[in-house]
Amino acid sequence: MRTAPNVIITGTPGVGKTVHCEQLAQDTGLRHLSINQVAKDRDCFETYDEELKTWIVDEDKLQENLDAEIFGVLLEEACEAFDEEVVVELMSEKDDDVEGNCERISSWVSSWKINQNLNAN
């Protein structure tokens, strides 16, 4: 039985994905798995984009190295692939959004754990 849910956070560079994930890991005890670190550890970078100041990932190579598809999940694809109630779009346009988003996700994680425990009995 699973003891924690998967929470996938996606977005364009610079919107606060890492900040959200680090805060959520601290608040919920979930493990933060950075796709950048996975790509680095498995040598899955192609080139560096000077304009965006980010590494370009070799998606084919990374996909071959991952057990589960956790890269490149866009909102539209997520909505098509998953039940409506498990896909939530949260905006991150201001610094205050991080705190509110993290509180919302942390609350959901707590509820998920309680529901899983009740369903196990």
- The CA distance from 37 to 42, in Å, is 8
What's the pTM value of the predicted model, to 2 decimals?
Answer: 0.59
Place of tokens 């942390």: 106
Digit-coded pLDDT (tens) for 24-68: 999 999 989 887 788 888 888 888 889 888 888 777 777 666 644
- Assign a CATH topology to domain 17-57+68-113: Rossmann fold (3.40.50)
Domain residue extents for the chain: 17-57+68-113
Please name the residue ranges forming H helices in the chain. 17-28, 35-41, 59-65, 75-81, 95-120
Exposure string for 69-79, b = 16+ CB within 10 A, e = fewer: eebeeeeeeee
